[in-house]
Homo-oligomer: A and B are copies of this chain.
Amino acid sequence: MDIDSYLADKRQLVDRVLDEMLPQADNEPSLLHRAMRYSIFAGGKRIRPILAMEAAEVVGGSYKSVMILTAALECVHTYSLIHDDLPAMDDDDLRRGKPTLHKVFGEAVAILAGDALLTFAFEAISSPTAARACRAEQLLGVIYELAYASGFRRLIKGQFLDISSEGKPVDAETVDCIVSSKTAALIRASLTCGALLAGGSVEEIEILGCYGENLGKAFQIRDDLLDIEGDPNKLGKAVRKDQQRGKATFPGLLGIEIAREMIQKHLSIALEAISPLGEKAAILSKIGKYIGQRIN
């Protein structure tokens, strides 16, 4: 199986669901809806949705049962990017090869579109459509996992530490906390929520959570490495910004070689975690290797 075409196929399924679920661009207020769609359809890899789909399959369910969840995960991820790119935050002009949302629609609309995507994630999972397809206890559990991972203890804490550590001396513990909170938390939740919704056991959810946490850390450290040695055309965003801004990253703190070793270490832990799942986890294993080598 070619992992690239596999991911491309799954990405199409996610994009179709997002297109169906998000407000139509020609409904009023059109500008707000177009802003939400602009960022959602700016060409993301849909890693989090695909991981949720895989988690559902691994525990014996169908990826079809978690498609609303996949849309919610991508909405939360995209909201976090929109707010992160704002002038008051990282002040980024380019994202996924396109001008950032506030550059095109203005700051006010970007703040509101981010808020709208975050809120929509919770609307989608609690919607009558979701409630007809899944048990209320499971949906409630998924909402809690997602809100916890996105909230002040995890994703938002990560963004806060990322910004407040700029230009300051940091230790490895703080960088690890940033990497874990701002990135691994939502990637981990993608897997645990997918498994939870598809009826996975406590043990399966724990295994997938450990895989997700370490995959997420590898993903972020790879991201930080690509900021140093990546190709801006392939990445679709400017590079070498982290050093200019004094961002707290592992390549910045410990050097490129040690950062590379850390990626491999986290991927090893991730793959080791899912080894009890055997052949069922073959795709998760391939995704791990893909993440370690990704160039965008």
Interface residues of A in 122-137 (CB under 8 A from B): 122-123, 125-128, 131, 135-137
User: A257 to B29, alpha carbons, bound, how many Å?
Assistant: 30
User: A109 to B161, alpha carbons, bound, how many Å?
Assistant: 11
Q: Does A187 contact B (CB under 8 A)?
A: no
User: A161 to B144, alpha carbons, bound, how many Å?
Assistant: 31
Structural contact, A120 and B147, CB atoms closer than 8 A: yes
- The verdict on A29 contacting B160 (CB below 8 Å), with A88-B111, A111-B86, A116-B151 known, is yes
A189 to chain B, nearest CB (A): 12
Interface residues on A, range: 35 or more
Number of copies of this chain in the oligomer?
2
Q: Which of B86, B109, B126 is within 8 Å of A147, CB to CB?
A: B126
- The verdict on A123 contacting B144 (CB below 8 Å), with A118-B118, A136-B136, A152-B23 known, is yes
Closest to A144 in B: B126
A109 to chain B, nearest CB (A): 7
- The verdict on A115 contacting B157 (CB below 8 Å), with A23-B152, A126-B140 known, is no
A151 to chain B, nearest CB (A): 4
* Mask of A72-99 contacts with B, CB within 8 angstroms, 1/0: 0000000100010010110000000000
Structural contact, B108 and A29, CB atoms closer than 8 A: no
Instruction: Specify which chain B residues have a CB less than 8 angstroms from the CB of A141 in the assembled complex.
Output: 126
Q: Does A262 contact B (CB under 8 A)?
A: no
Interface residues of A in 101-125 (CB under 8 A from B): 106-109, 111-112, 114-116, 118-120, 122-123, 125
- The verdict on A83 contacting B109 (CB below 8 Å), with A144-B127, A151-B120 known, is no
Q: Does A143 contact B (CB under 8 A)?
A: yes
Q: Does A12 contact B (CB under 8 A)?
A: no
Q: Which residue, A32, A36, A108, A109, has most C-beta atoms of chain B within 10 A?
A: A108
Contact surface of A with B, Cβ cutoff 8 Å: 23, 29, 31-33, 36, 79, 83, 86, 88-89, 106-109, 111-112, 114-116, 118-120, 122-123, 125-128, 131, 135-137, 139-141, 143-144, 147-148, 150-153, 156-157, 159-161, 163-164
Q: List 28 A-B contacts (CB under 8 A).
A: A23-B153, A29-B160, A29-B161, A32-B157, A32-B160, A36-B152, A79-B115, A83-B111, A83-B112, A86-B111, A88-B106, A109-B160, A112-B160, A114-B115, A122-B122, A122-B143, A123-B144, A123-B148, A126-B140, A126-B144, A127-B144, A131-B140, A131-B144, A135-B136, A136-B137, A136-B140, A140-B143, A143-B143
